Structure 1
Amino acid sequence: MSRAANKQETTASEVASRAELMLVKNEPPAESRQFLVRGTPAFRRATIALFLSGFATFSLLYCVQPLMPIFSEDFGVTPAASSLSLSLSTGFLAFAIFGAAAVSESLGRRSLMFISLLGAAICTIVCAVSPSWHMLLVARALEGFLLGGVPAVAMTYLAEEIEPRGLGGAMGLYIAGNAFGGMAGRVVTGTIAEFLSWRPALAAVGVLGLIAAVGFLCLLPPSRNFIPRNGFDAAFHLKAWGGHFGNPALPPLFAIGFLVMGSFVTVYNYAGFRLVADPYDLSQTELGLIFTAYLFGIVASWAAGLLGDRIGHFVVLPAGVLVAALGAAITLATPLPLVILGIVLVTIGFFVTHSVASALVGRLARGAKGHASSLYLLAYYLGSSIAGSVGGSFWLADGWSAVVTFILAMLTACLVAAFGVARLARH
């Protein structure tokens, strides 16, 4: 065979290989991709829509957190049992993310996210009228299952549709929406519960979720770099998920998601029990206002995305973990201002770490980005569910000092993983 024929055959083989790779990635060829460019109206609409989705997800998910002491009293359950109102939601959400990633391959990113937000908002309204503790837990579990259709798909949409130069900032703004929603849900329920009761408080958050879902649907541009996949190919999904564990930089990122989220949720789950007791005796409104620390998380997540794009994600990532650890240690102090300062630093450190880790998953995944995001968020929400409930055992054993010891152990492991990601990614 002539050299020219060999060259022609090699070129044809390379083209076929590239085409097959794009099919596996479920993306169009690179030369035909149309990104949303920073500064354009479509980019702004997309980032606002994803901000709303983050707001709705976290306000609906975490609105019960300041109500745990009330649940414990009204329903006669222990602090650890009251944490099930959150842990069940995050646990079901973690596993639903797997199904959501697969369903979005055929249903589409935008449609699945809207249906999930709408259903979760309705579940919150159902919780507000639940006659028993067990029915409330069932509604919260279903709500978590439905919300599984948002986080991984939102991260995938950003990774697919946003130009690489703007991905860090867009991801930071999306996570800022998470922070704002987490704060608003907690403050709204804490304040309304103080003057009325926990039932109208949950109903109000449910209505806010409905409004955010409609705004999301109206603003988000349709996907342009996503090719729907017909049917459900179990082998494809299993291969895609398994393939990400062959990428050495990704498992440490999954571990970071588990550990940093577990630490963060443990702080907020049990700080309330500490602060409503002696010597603080905070009211529900005052306790809800503690969650305005999330305002610092909004700024931190946005700034972390921009800093990661400019000075390097592997510099910002361990810095976020160290800030969270410092904050956890400061909460051991007795004066209330120092306790609040510690919670603020934990919040900043968490959102910096999560924002950077989320962006790195999208950057380092070799194709099938939705599956990579689903694995990260599986670990992330399992951290919330498992550590958030396990922290109750430490609280019962030796109070806040035991809780902080548990948190610092997790953050130490998180720091080791952060340095490991940097080393593995460089190689």
Structure 2
Amino acid sequence: MIADKTRAWWRATMALCLGSFLVFINLYVPQPLLPELKAAFDVSTLGVSLLMSVATLSLALALLVFGPLSDAIGRESIMRITLLLAGGLSLALAFAPNFESLLLLRLLQGFVLGGLPAVAIAWMGDAFEKPALLSAVGLYIGANSLGGISGRLVGGAAAGIGGPQAAFVAVGLMTLVGCALFWRLLPDSRTFVPQRFELRRALADLLGHLRTPVLLAAYCLGGINFLIFINQYSYITFRLAAEPYHLAASGLGLIFLTYLGGTFGSTVSGRLAQRFSPATCMMAGVIILMAGTAVTLSRSLELIILGLTINAFGFFMAHSLASSWVGRYAQGARGSASALYLVFYYVGASLGGVWLEFFWQADGWHGVAWGSWILLSITLTITLGMRRFERRQDS
């Protein structure tokens, strides 16, 4: 087992953070381009949002394949091959002739992007000692947010120069270069014990996780929080592209620098959880997310940016702790347990556009805020139950 802060820990953590970064630059590069793509392909707000929704939905479905499969054949080859395919598909997106083919390529890309998230935390659970796992997961989740930031920044900047096609080419080339480095850095796990893949057993493992209340709570927490958080960013692009802001794609890309609040939130989450307990910190994360949403109601662009930064801090603090919660309480089949968390996570993201579209059409951004608070009140209730569970465990 790899001990915390050793040379082997740093190398493995660096590799997984790089892989996470590459996944999320590919997943989120279209988001600042949505208003421009909406005009270019003459589709509706909900229609162009499908570029995000189909990718996150197929990613979620892929987790059900890659998670159990990794318990049988190992995790390293899945991560390496799917990253390579993701980079190639980003290049293909640049040459999509119409909106339908663009959607199909995003569907395929979402599926291969599921390879690394499905198994990375399970890989850590196999390879790292428990203290090393908490700190590694915090950095890994932080790389998620950095990848999300970079995908939108690169996408917005490249689109300002050469349109959406240039954004996809830039991210595709970055991914192929980064993938070569990832292959070199990632060590083979020495403690992994393969299990023969049996469909019946895989389904039994998934059902077992779903029947475990302590895991189901984390799954619902991650899925609902992400449903709100990621789709707020989609609708804020439409708000800020319209009057009185009139931000172009490059300006909308800069909005996603607010994700840096999430990078900070995820990296400090482990230390905060050691002092106040994971469930208490998850509860605080949800409350912070609700408060940040209130700040975004201001008409001031500066306060909107502040509110989004607060949201990112709260969301990623809760998300990183919910991820490690699954790794801590899963009894066997960690690959499928971690994958199931991400299934809920990305299914939530894919459904968020449908949920928030109703509120957006009814009352614009104020409606989005009310739609957010309704669901966040549910996740706040979930954290109360998790906190009671922790207290029973400690007594």
Contact 2:124 2:133 in 1 (8 A): yes
Contact 2:359 2:367 in 1 (8 A): yes
Partner of 2:180: 214
Over residues 74-110 of structure 1, what are the superposed CA-to-partner deviations in whole Å (9 max), with x where a residue is unaligned? Answer: 0000111101101000001101101001221233101
Shift of 1:425: 4.1
Partner of 1:73: 39
Counterpart AA for 1:117: L
The alignment's TM-score, normalised by the length of structure 1, stands at 0.90
Write the mapping of 1:329-408 to structure 2, written as runs, cut at 5 A.
329-408=294-373
Is 2:291 aligned against 1:326? yes
Partner of 2:55: 89
Alpha-carbon distance in structure 1 between the residues aligned to 2:204 and 2:344? 19
Structure 1 spans left out of the alignment, 5+ residues: 1-34
Partner of 2:114: 148
Partner of 2:142: 176
Q: Give aligned pairs, total.
A: 392
Quick one: structure 1 residues 309 and 370, their matched pair in 2 at CA, closer, same or farther if it must change by over 3 Å? Answer: farther
Secondary structure of 2:194's aligned partner = coil
Shift of 1:253: 0.7
Secondary structure of 2:115's aligned partner = coil
Contact 2:283 2:318 in 1 (8 A): yes
Shift of 1:171: 0.2
Over residues 169-206 of structure 1, what are the superposed CA-to-partner deviations in whole Å (9 max), with x where a residue is unaligned? Answer: 10010011101000000011111111221101111011
Over residues 326-368 of structure 1, what are the superposed CA-to-partner deviations in whole Å (9 max), with x where a residue is unaligned? Answer: 0011111111111111111111111101001001010011111
Among 230, 243, 264, the alignment partner of 1:299 is 264
Residue identity (%): 39
The alignment's TM-score, normalised by the length of structure 2, stands at 0.97
Contact 1:87 1:389 in 2 (8 A): no
Contact 1:172 1:306 in 2 (8 A): no
Partner of 1:6: none
Counterpart AA for 1:416: T
Shift of 1:310: 4.1
Is 2:193 aligned against 1:227? yes
Shift of 1:211: 1.9
Alpha-carbon distance in structure 2 between the residues aligned to 1:388 and 1:155? 27
Contact 1:176 1:299 in 2 (8 A): yes
Alpha-carbon distance in structure 2 between the residues aligned to 1:278 and 1:190? 19
Alpha-carbon distance in structure 2 between the residues aligned to 1:369 and 1:103? 12
Over residues 10-52 of structure 1, what are the superposed CA-to-partner deviations in whole Å (9 max), with x where a residue is unaligned? Answer: xxxxxxxxxxxxxxxxxxxxxxxxx111121110011101101
Shift of 1:305: 2.2
Partner of 2:158: 192
Shift of 1:236: 1.1
Quick one: structure 1 residues 389 and 187, their matched pair in 2 at CA, closer, same or farther if it must change by over 3 Å? Answer: farther
Quick one: structure 1 residues 309 and 54, their matched pair in 2 at CA, closer, same or farther if it must change by over 3 Å? Answer: farther
Runs of 4+ that moved beyond 2 A: 424-427
Shift of 1:417: 0.8
Counterpart AA for 1:180: L
Secondary structure of 1:97's aligned partner = helix
Contact 2:280 2:383 in 1 (8 A): no
Shift of 1:167: 1.5
Partner of 2:101: 135
Alpha-carbon distance in structure 1 between the residues aligned to 2:42 and 2:334? 44
Structure 2 spans left out of the alignment, 5+ residues: none
Over residues 294-338 of structure 1, what are the superposed CA-to-partner deviations in whole Å (9 max), with x where a residue is unaligned? Answer: 122112111112322343212211111111110011111111111
Counterpart AA for 2:369: V
Counterpart AA for 2:260: L
